[in-house]
Amino acid sequence: MMKLCAFCISLGIMMLAAANATHATGNQPDPAVAALPRTTITVSAAASLTDVFPIIAKAFNTRYPKLSVKFNFGGSNALVEQLRAGAPVDVLATASEPTMWAAVRGGWVSPKPSHFAKNTMVIATPAGNPAGITSLVGIQSPNVLTAVCAIEVPCGLATRRLFSVNNVSVTPVTRELDVRAVLGKVIADQVDAGIVYLTDARSAGKAVTTITIPADKNIRTTYLIATVIDSSKQQAAQAFIDYVRNSTSAQSILRTWGFAKP
């Protein structure tokens, strides 16, 4: 009974927040949000958002000084698994649709998650590309050590789709459990190539050389964000989501880091 009531209340608050969102323009502070009491929300976000989300959070905090954001980064599946176990977070941002829908089916997040960015894949090689890789065809050679994500995680599914679109058959030397681990193997020069998101390769700067994949041969992955149903900070959580989706500053930060429009 208590649980049902809590659900009704949170649903009510969510609808209120949604109503607020419709009349917020995205570039002006929303007075209703600005009037919220001082609070810190926790955002569980996919590993590939590790660099960009803290920057967006800072801009968000500048617009709404009373609202702060802290992060819990990890593989999208692991984040959903934490929600199942009752992790005290307010917002979930995943790097793939299936992981978000799993959270929706579990009843842990709002049934209406929003798209906020897209990503594409690249080949990352150690600085200077010592193995001389030019395309996906090149990493089929058994002499090229390639790291990819395990198919159990979103970047691994994306990699498998990428290989099938390009009709290549690659035998990796390792299947890592998140995209940052693949990048780590490339930066440490333990492998000749790694399949990562464009944004991860960009975040590594000069430590890696990026081989791009032509758009018609590439795939796009979708990022989704939603409020957590058990959160007691629905309004602040929804304000952060609106900011990420609609504000020019958040979207331009995302572009700078290589994320595409949703």
Could you list the residues that contact other proteins (CB under 8 A)?
75, 77-78, 81, 145, 147, 150, 152-153, 172-177, 181, 185, 188-190
Output 190 or 210, the one with its CB closest to other proteins: 190
Instruction: Note the maximum CA span of the chain.
Output: 64
3-state secondary structure of 228: strand
**Alpha-carbon Rg of the chain, whole angstroms?**
20
For the bound state, the minimum distance from the C-beta of residue 104 to other proteins, rounded and expressed in Å, comes to: 17
For the bound state, the minimum distance from the C-beta of residue 172 to other proteins, rounded and expressed in Å, comes to: 7
Output 51 or 81, the one with its CB closest to other proteins: 81
For the bound state, the minimum distance from the C-beta of residue 20 to other proteins, rounded and expressed in Å, comes to: 36
For residues 134-154, one letter each, b for 16 or more C-beta atoms within 10 angstroms of the residue's C-beta and e for the rest, the string is: eebebbeeeebbbbbbbeebb
Output 113 or 126, the one with its CB closest to other proteins: 126
Output 11 or 188, the one with its CB closest to other proteins: 188
C-alpha distances out from residue 119 to 31, 33, 80, 255, 256, Å? 33, 30, 20, 10, 12
Q: Which residues contact 5 (CB under 8 A, 6 or more apart)?
A: none
For the bound state, the minimum distance from the C-beta of residue 119 to other proteins, rounded and expressed in Å, comes to: 19
- Nearest Cα to 158, choosing from 116, 221, 79? 221
Output 181 or 229, the one with its CB closest to other proteins: 181
For the bound state, the minimum distance from the C-beta of residue 75 to other proteins, rounded and expressed in Å, comes to: 6
Q: Is 85 within 8 Å of 78 (Cβ atoms)?
A: no
